[in-house]
Amino acid sequence: MMQTELDLFNPASPAEPQWIGKQAVVLPGFALAWVDVLLPELRQIIARAPFRHMLTPGGLNMAVGLTNCGALGWISDRRGYRYSPVDPLSQQPWPALPPAFIELAALAASAAGFADFRPDACLINCYKPGNRLSLHQDRDERDYSQPIVSVSLGLPAVFQFGGHARNESTRRIGLRHGDVMVWGGEDRLRFHGVLPLKPGSHPLLSGRRINLTLRKAG
């Protein structure tokens, strides 16, 4: 079946919010003005809590590199998926959420109609060419009434946005450097994933895509 792809890659398309659900929106370029602040913060976080390939409960290493900042960090191992206040690699608390991450997330959430969003966790994913994220739901957080704010940096990716059952058809959404996606409410538990990253070179992040997802986990 043909799938329609939102044409966010077309530079001629307006940088206006693109609603992809009743309570899910892409804010093209929303984070561009923040990149100069976000990248140095990211470098410091990664120096203390490096990207690693976590083990799935099934015993496979995830292809996407992963780390966290904030009071809680999302982890996976043989025992399952959960949030932990401690980095299992260092046995230390995760690096703190930089104030700029919190401000950006709160501003984006309010632009999407979610007032007073205050994240306590930021999952940081690092994709290399060929890496994908299979369809999943985000359901390890305590309060599904809180939205998720996702910030895309580096190489562009194609995001899959599905329904409330794994077998429902998915829509494809192009996400570029600086795009922010916010989703919550009735769209909060939709299945979603990322198609294999195409090779490329980004001026700031070279051959990588980094995605931040800011959540209220606890």
Binding-site entries = 74, 81-83, 125-127, 136, 138, 140, 166, 192, 209-215
Q: What is the DSSP letter of 206?
A: B
> Applying CB under 5 A, does 187 fall inside the site for Fe ion?
no
Choice between 138 and 141, CB closer to Fe ion: 138
Choice between 138 and 187, CB closer to Fe ion: 138
> Applying CB under 6 A, does 212 fall inside the site for ligand MD6?
no
Give dist(CA 122, CA 166) in Å, integer: 25
Choice between 170 and 213, CB closer to ligand MD6: 213
Number of CB atoms found within 10 A of residue 120's CB: 17
Applying CB under 5 A, the span of 7-15, 100-108, 121-129, 138-146 interacting with Fe ion comes to 138-146
> Applying CB under 6 A, does 133 fall inside the site for ligand MD6?
yes
Figure out which of the listed residues 138, 141, 179, 187 binds ligand MD6, where binding follows CB under 6 A.
138
Give dist(CA 40, CA 185) in Å, integer: 32
Strand partners, 215: 121
CA distances from 25 to 35, 57, 154, 203, 210 (A): 20, 31, 20, 26, 19
Give the angle 58-61-67 at the CA atoms, nearest 5°. 115
Choice between 92 and 142, CB closer to ligand MD6: 142
Applying CB under 5 A, the span of 46-54, 80-88, 135-143, 152-160 interacting with Fe ion comes to 135-143
Give dist(CA 158, CA 160) in Å, integer: 7
Figure out which of the listed residues 18, 67, 125, 146 binds ligand MD6, where binding follows CB under 6 A.
125
CA 27 to chain CA centroid, nearest Å:
14
| Binds 194: which of Fe ion, ligand MD6, none (CB < 5-8 Å by kind) | ligand MD6
Strand partners, 213: 123, 150
> Applying CB under 6 A, does 66 fall inside the site for ligand MD6?
no
Looking from the CA of 148 toward its CB, the CA atoms found within 13 Å total: 23
> Applying CB under 6 A, does 181 fall inside the site for ligand MD6?
yes
> Applying CB under 5 A, does 138 fall inside the site for Fe ion?
yes
Specify whether the CB–CB gap between 191 and 164 falls below 8 A: yes
Which positions lie near ligand MD6, rule CB under 6 A? Answer: 125, 133, 138, 148, 150, 159, 181, 183, 192, 194, 211, 213
Which positions lie near Fe ion, rule CB under 5 A? Answer: 138
